[in-house]
Amino acid sequence: MAAFHSPSTASIGMVLLLLICFSMAAFAYGNFYHNFDVVWGDGRAVIQEGGDLLTLSLDKTSGSGFQSKDEYLYGKIDMQLKLVPGNSAGTVTAYYVSLQLSSKGEAWDEIDFEFLGNLSGQPYILHTNVFCQGKGNREQQFYLWFDPTADFHTYSILWNPERIVFSVDGIPIREFKNLEFLGVPFPKNQKMRLYSTLWNADDWATRGGLVKTDWSEAPFKASYRNFNADACVWSSGSSYCSSNKNAWFWEELNFAKKGQMKWVLNNYMVYNYCEDTKRFPQGLPTECTFADIL
């Protein structure tokens, strides 16, 4: 018969430490009640599960949306989304950081993820854009390498003084570098909120507006969880950064991450403004002349 040994003090301490770490990791995710305000939708945006889940819905009458309570000036922002399933043609799920909507003028900044719905069985198109001082026209579009409606996936925006990086499940898909020394504007002075909306855009979203929204499929629903903002929060005229700031404030893509991004660009990119010479007959935008920008 094997002898029974009581657990050592060190073993008990290790278990307690692991439990504390798991608790801290869970607590690190934001709570939708605490971090966001529902801004439109007349009840179509619903916070559930004690603040751990938020759903947006769209019907023929209205879409819905929410915004962060905090404003940010640089940060690394993650959100897990599960997109509208089935026939989502005509719908757009937008997830982006921008100036306060009521404050937009000619010089607003914005960093966009937009998910363009499609007919059942056809892939979503992930549309990205960067607005600097009111000027966009920097669209890149991608297919995803998974079904974004079957489960939650993490979509991230890294925004620091040197670059903006769009990532999906930790894989970078796009980098927009700070090239102000070449006269290319870069968002660096204006605080921004995080927004997300689900809305009807069947005048352009699916095949340029050729495929319309099938309202018999409504209500359309997108779900959100596990928000995290490791960021500099704007408050009372100053920016207050997280204690983990050094991990992302000067972060750049290492060799492995550049390899991942190249894989995405080679296999999943479906539109790149830097290759659209018909759109820019007078010459491609300045940043497009630098091969390492892509």
Q: 39 with 21: CB under 8 angstroms? A: no
Overall fold of domain 35-290? Jelly Rolls (2.60.120)
**Catalytic site positions:** 110, 114
116 vs 129: CA distance, rounded Å? 13
Asked whether 117 and 102 are in contact (CB, 8 A), the reply is no
What are the phi and psi torsion angles at 37 (to 5°)?
-120, 135
Q: 267 in helix, strand or coil?
A: helix
Query: According to the 3-state scheme, what is the secondary structure of 24-48?
Result: HHHHHCCCHHHHEEEEECCCCCEEE
Output the tens digit of pLDDT for each of the chain's 294 residues. Answer: 444 344 454 444 443 444 433 333 333 578 999 999 999 999 999 999 999 999 999 999 999 999 999 999 999 999 999 999 999 999 999 999 998 655 556 688 999 999 999 999 999 999 999 999 889 999 999 999 999 999 999 999 999 999 999 999 999 999 999 999 999 999 998 999 999 999 999 999 999 999 999 999 999 999 999 999 999 999 888 889 988 898 999 999 999 999 999 999 999 999 999 999 999 999 999 999 875 654
Sheet with 125-131: strands ordered across: 36-40, 64-68, 193-200, 91-98, 110-116, 125-131, 140-142, 269-272
Given a contact cutoff of 8 angstroms between Cβ atoms, the answer to whether 30 and 231 are in contact is: no
Residue ranges per domain, the chain? 35-290
